[in-house]
Amino acid sequence: MAATLFFSSTGIAYLLLFISLAFLTYRFYQYWQKNRDTTSKVFLLFIFLLTLFAFIRAISGLFFATNIDILIATITLASFLQALAAAVAIFIVVHLKFPKTSPWLGFSIVFILGAISTAMTYSGSWGRQISFESFGAISWGLPSMGLVYALTRMLVLALAFIPITVILIQQGRVADESYLKKKSYGLSVVLFLGIIIGLLDFFFIEILGYNAIIRDIVMAILSIILFLVIYFTQKPPSEIK
C-alpha cells in the first residue's frame, strides 16, 4: 500500500501551513528591516524557525511519503526546531517583561527542556509505527514513552506560545494607534492558532483517537484562516501611518 503512495494529505496540510508562516516571516523581515531592534530580530527568528519546521514536514509529506526512514528522521529534526523556537519565544518574553533578567536564562531553561523532548523523540523514533490512512494521511505513531513524551512536547509548545500570546493581548489593550492594536491582536490570534495546530497530532490522534485525515483537514482549514488573519492584520511597513 505504501509503495503506491506518491503524496499525502499530511504533506498538503503542512504545505498550507508553510505558505502562511512564510508570508508572516516575510512581514517580520520587513519589520526588522525598518526597526533594526532586538525585539523585531528575535521575533523574526522565532517565526522563521516555525516556518522551517512546517517546510520540512511539507517536503517529507509531499515528496518522501513512501520513505519511512526519511519520515522518521524528519520527526527528530522537527522536534528540535520546535524546541529551539520555544526557547527563542521565552527569550522574547524575558526580554520584554523582565528587562533586568538576562533573556538567555529563560532561553537556556526551555532549550534544555526541549533538548530532553528531542532526545526522547530520537530514542523512540525507530520504534514508531508509521501508518498511512485514507488519502495518504500519515499517522506518525508515538514512541514507547507514550503519555510522558506527549506531555513533554505539549509543555514545550505551551511555554513557546502562551506567554507571548498574553503579552500581545496586553500590548493590544494599551496601544494608542489602531494599526498597533490590530497588529498585536492579530498576532495573538496567529499564535493561538499555532497552539492548536501544534497539538493536533497529540490531541486529535493520540488522546481523542481520531483518524489522521481529520487532523489534516483541520490543519488545512486552520492554515487558511491563519493566512487570512496574517494578511489583514500584519500590514507592511509602507502602509503603516
Indicate whether 129 pLDDT > 80: no
Indicate whether 204 pLDDT > 70: no
Is there a domain that residue 176 lies in? yes
* DSSP H stretches of helix in 98-177: 103-125, 147-174
Residues composing the chain = 241
pLDDT (0 to 100) of residue 205: 64
User: Count of domains in the chain?
Assistant: 1
Is there a domain that residue 241 lies in? no
Angle between helices 68-97 and 147-174 (to 10 degrees): 40
Structural domain of 198: 2-235
Summarised one tens digit per residue, pLDDT across range 49-94 is: 999 999 999 998 888 877 878 888 888 898 899 889 999 999 999 9
Q: How confident is the model at residue 223 (pLDDT cuts 50, 70, 90)?
A: very high
Closest CA to 50 of 14, 21, 15: 21
Q: Rounded to an integer, what distance in angstroms lies between the CA atom of residue 60 and that of residue 66?
A: 9
CA 27 to chain centre: 17
Say which amino acid occupies 99. P
Q: How confident is the model at residue 155 (pLDDT cuts 50, 70, 90)?
A: confident
Say which amino acid occupies 181. K
Among 48-57, 153-162, 181-190, 213-222, the minimum mean pLDDT is found in 153-162
pLDDT (0 to 100) of residue 50: 93
- Dig out the grid coordinates for 229 from the structure: 488573519
Among 8-17, 127-136, 171-180, 183-192, the minimum mean pLDDT is found in 127-136
pLDDT (0 to 100) of residue 12: 93
Q: How confident is the model at residue 240 (pLDDT cuts 50, 70, 90)?
A: low
Backbone φ and ψ of 170, nearest 5°? -65, -40
Looking at the DSSP bridge assignments, the partners of residue 132 are 138
Q: How confident is the model at residue 147 (pLDDT cuts 50, 70, 90)?
A: low
Is there a domain that residue 240 lies in? no
Looking up residue 47, the CATH number of its domain turns out to be 1.20.1070
Mean pLDDT of 120-126: 73
Indicate whether 145 pLDDT > 60: no
Is there a domain that residue 25 lies in? yes
Is there a domain that residue 30 lies in? yes
Q: Rounded to an integer, what distance in angstroms lies between the CA atom of residue 223 and that of residue 12?
A: 11
Q: Rounded to an integer, what distance in angstroms lies between the CA atom of residue 213 and that of residue 62?
A: 15
- Cβ atoms of 47 and 27 within 8 Å: the answer is no
Indicate whether 238 pLDDT > 70: yes
